[in-house]
Amino acid sequence: MKDKLLLITGGSQGIGKAIVLEAINAGYKVAFTYNSNKDEALAFLDEIGDKEVEAFQFTLGKRDNVKRLLLDIEKRFGQFPSYLVNNAAILIQKDFETISDEEWDLVLNTNLTGVFQIVQELIVDMKKNNFGRIVNISSIGGQVGGNLAVHYATTKAGLISFSKSMAKIYSKYNVLTNCIAPGLVNTKMIEKELDSDAGKEKLKTIPVGKITEPEEIANLVLFLLSEKNTTMTGQTVNINGGMYFG
């Protein structure tokens, strides 16, 4: 396990935090990023204790930021990650007609362009080593569209196609890329939505009768990263309580 270094973007809260904890328990070394809340990230590190884990401030969507992040990770761990979970995302809920160009660009740069840049920077090393595991966190919104977050849904649909493309190109190098599409997950991101009348109505439509917990997503991620998975690639795995069966 000494060479199993995992990079998780957006790892200080929600789904990302659950993935960090599960990965550490499984013996991975972990580098996780946070955007701006340094105190939250440091508190999480204190909670974890004496493990091979480090937090890095990182803003998605700029190539220079990616290069700096990977150099910092190499300096800290002595290697580049061969396991990658693209989890960080931004959700701005607005009526389509009120979305500005700036908001559109921000969401696309964070949720999609940032993923493209990280993967492109790491894929050469993965290809050379004939090994890599990539998991991209999409959303049910990328499968069925969005009412109040068209730009968010668009990026999540893009991640699904991007994952298929990476699998087609790089699976022959033992670099497996998969996508996970959660429905409603019990995180801060959807608190506002669930408090609304529309959100409460949406809860009633979930066949299993409850929303998904972050730990369930984390367990699925860990399987896709693990040695138990040698042929699953290019797939989008739904975990949504039965909200969508596509």
The domains of the chain are located at: 5-239
Fold of 5-239: Rossmann fold (3.40.50)
Conformational region of residue 49, where left means phi above 0, alpha means psi within -120 to 50, and beta covers everything else = left
pLDDT at 1: 45
- Can you tell me the distance from the alpha carbon of 6 to that of 4, in angstroms, rounded to the nearest whole number? 6
Catalytic residue among 34, 83, 152, 170: 152
Length of the chain: 246
For residues 5 and 80, the answer to whether their CB atoms sit within 8 Å is: yes
Whether 28 and 6 have beta carbons less than 8 Å apart is answered as yes
Contact 46, 94 (CB under 8 A): no
Q: At 103, which helix (H) or strand (E)?
A: helix 101-108
From the first residue on, what is the mean pLDDT of each consecutive set of 10 residues in the chain (246 residues)?
86 96 96 96 93 95 97 97 97 95 97 98 97 98 94 98 98 98 87 75 87 96 97 98 92
Q: Can you read off the two tokens belonging to residue 75? A: 């300096």
Would you state the pLDDT for residue 2?
Answer: 54
Question: Is 83 annotated as catalytic?
Answer: no
